[in-house]
Amino acid sequence: MDRTMLTELCRRQLQLCAVQEGETLVVLSQGSERADYADAFLYAARSLGANAYHMRMPEPGSSGSGAWEVGASELQNNPRAVEALEQADIVIDLIFLLFSKEQFAIQRAGTRILTAVEPTALLARLFPTKELRERVEVGHELLAKASTMRITSPQGTDVTYRIGMYPTMSEYGYTDEPGRWDHWPAAIVFTGGADDGVDGTIVLSPGDVLLPFNSYVQTPITLTVEQGFITDIRGDLDADLLSSYIRSFEDPRGYGMSHVGWGLDERAQWHGLTQFPGGMGMELRSYYGNVMFSIGPNNELGGPNDTPCHLDIPMRGCDLFLDDEPVVRNGDLVVDAMRPTSRRG
């Protein structure tokens, strides 16, 4: 993307984040990654009168597995750097700190954090809007007051989450509240089931997505879930790959059930992974009417599981009920206030 366009996009993003004159904004990057994003945010911040600087961490050491291990970052060894980020008003995270204890510490200090790691074309196409935020917040309210979530599908999924003990979270692609994290782009709401409160069967169908494999399921995978943990994984090659991935962490907590929720962005495309194979898959997470469950850590929600083994699995064509009331039907949102105005009844 043209530098001027990227800078303009970042300026509009920082305006949504309510960046004010005199605020301190830190762009956090590592190695030579996303130097163009860093420049664009710095120029944008300066044009809004903010005090901006760039904190560049060393290239991370090799973890060995090459996997999408969340929670590990160079900040672990740099308490002074964490202190500086805690003193900022807003941090632009170009590394992807999610699930690290350093991120939680920075948020606790009241600093807002915006992660931006997706390809620039996706940042532009799914640029956040206030209207989308409002619809996400409607979903947030509904989810926050529910005590059960049941997900079903024609392929045989029937799983129930006991919810309400963990907070409800929403992501709408920008952050204007102290201590709040968000991810550009995003349009999702989620919470977590009780540690021993997820039971049933999940059948992944061809076309469902395995993140971080960044691949579409080709052959059905049947997961048995008992008391919050996956106890059986059946199927052909895709099931073998999933089992092998989780097993490689040598951590029984890798079988835990993590966050669960749905996406609301009608602009997102299901074929997004074919266009942006190097991205984090935010387009699939945000896809309108997808139901996404996750395997692994729940410490982001305040839970005890901080395993580095983490999968997000967006699924199409599901039904989702909160306290037996339908929210998603066959992959379509059925609550009017969560639908874009053009699709309301």
Tokens of 8: 């303009």
Q: What 3-state class would DSSP assign to 116?
A: coil
Total interface residues for Fe ion by CB under 5 A: 2
30 binds Fe ion (CB under 5 A): no
What does DSSP say about strands 188-192 and 257-263: parallel, antiparallel, or unpaired?
antiparallel
Q: Kindly identify the residues of this chain, within the stretch 59-78, that bind Fe ion according to CB under 5 A.
A: none
- Distant-in-sequence, close-in-space partners of 336: CB < 8 Å, separation ≥ 6: 344, 345
191 binds Fe ion (CB under 5 A): no
Q: How far is the CB of 345 from Fe ion (least distance, A)?
A: 32
Q: How far is the CB of 142 from Fe ion (least distance, A)?
A: 20
Phi, psi values for residue 312, rounded to 5° = -110, 135
Q: How far is the CB of 133 from Fe ion (least distance, A)?
A: 20
- Nearer to Fe ion among residue 41 and residue 161 (C-beta): 161
Q: Which of these, 143, 86, 145, lies nearest to 328 by C-alpha position?
A: 143
Q: What 3-state class would DSSP assign to 198?
A: strand
294 binds Fe ion (CB under 5 A): yes
- Report yes or no: 143 and 168 within 8 Å, Cβ to Cβ: yes
The full 3-state SS of 229-283, as one line of letters, equals EEEEEEECHHHHHHHHHHHHCCCHHHHEEEEEEEECECCCCCCHHHHCCCCCCHH
Looking at 161-169, 292-300, 301-309, 313-321, which segment touches Fe ion (CB under 5 A)? Answer: 292-300
Looking at 3-11, 44-52, 266-274, 310-318, which segment touches Fe ion (CB under 5 A)? Answer: 310-318
299 binds Fe ion (CB under 5 A): no
- Nearer to Fe ion among residue 171 and residue 312 (C-beta): 312
User: How many Å is the Cα radius of gyration of the chain?
Assistant: 19
Size of the chain, expressed as the number of residues it contains: 345
- Nearer to Fe ion among residue 294 and residue 299 (C-beta): 294
- Report yes or no: 44 and 7 within 8 Å, Cβ to Cβ: yes
Angle at 342 between CA 262 and CA 329, to 5 degrees: 35
23 binds Fe ion (CB under 5 A): no
Q: Kindly identify the residues of this chain, within the stretch 229-288, that bind Fe ion according to CB under 5 A.
A: none
Q: How far is the CB of 260 from Fe ion (least distance, A)?
A: 10
- Nearer to Fe ion among residue 71 and residue 164 (C-beta): 71
Q: How far is the CB of 277 from Fe ion (least distance, A)?
A: 19
Q: How far is the CB of 259 from Fe ion (least distance, A)?
A: 6
Q: How far is the CB of 310 from Fe ion (least distance, A)?
A: 6
Distance CA 220, CA 61 (A): 36
Looking at 139-147, 155-163, 237-245, 311-319, which segment touches Fe ion (CB under 5 A)? Answer: 311-319
Token pair 């996956």: residue: 230
Looking at 192-200, 261-269, 290-298, 313-321, which segment touches Fe ion (CB under 5 A)? Answer: 290-298
Q: How far is the CB of 300 from Fe ion (least distance, A)?
A: 8
Q: 162-188 as b/e, with b when 16 or more CB fall inside 10 Å?
A: bbbebebbbbbbbbeeeebbbbbbbbb
Tokens of 218: 């080709």
Looking at 7-15, 60-68, 138-146, 305-313, which segment touches Fe ion (CB under 5 A)? Answer: 305-313
312 binds Fe ion (CB under 5 A): yes
- Nearer to Fe ion among residue 7 and residue 307 (C-beta): 307
Q: What 3-state class would DSSP assign to 177?
A: coil
Q: Which residue ranges make up the site for Fe ion (CB under 5 A)?
A: 294, 312
